Amino acid sequence: MMKTQAKKGKSAQSASPKPGPSHVNLRSDSESLSDSDCDDSELCCHCGKFTPEEVSRSTSLIFVKWGQCDKIIGDKVCNHWAHLVFCSPVRVLRRGESFLCPCCDHEELTAGTYEL
């Protein structure tokens, strides 16, 4: 009689859930975002990608900072987006600072109106 009680106790213990990672937030390869899934306005104007190449090859979590160009062309604003650090020499944007995307910055350099 004692042996059957001991077996019941072991099976009850092994059936209970054990702590561990839930894996709820893991993405499968089929669910990962590709650059073709993004609208062109969501892509970097310099590299044409949502995720910079350096970040996509990394095994670490990297937060990518973006900057939106505020150059006025005629009566419109450029509004291109660019990766800071990876696709632009700008590392940080402060509130109120103006930012030129690499396309507009290159135009200003070639036009000779670029000021330091």
Distance CA 116, CA 114 (A): 7
Q: Would you say residue 90 has pLDDT above 70?
A: yes
Share of the chain above pLDDT 70, in %: 61
pLDDT at 88: 93
What's this model's pTM, rounded to 2 decimal places? 0.60
CB 101 within 8 A of CB 80: yes
Distance CA 8, CA 35 (A): 55
pLDDT per residue as tens digits for the range 6-55: 555 555 556 777 776 665 555 554 445 555 566 777 899 999 999 999 99
Q: Would you say residue 80 has pLDDT above 70?
A: yes
Pairing outcome for strands 81-83 and 76-77: unpaired
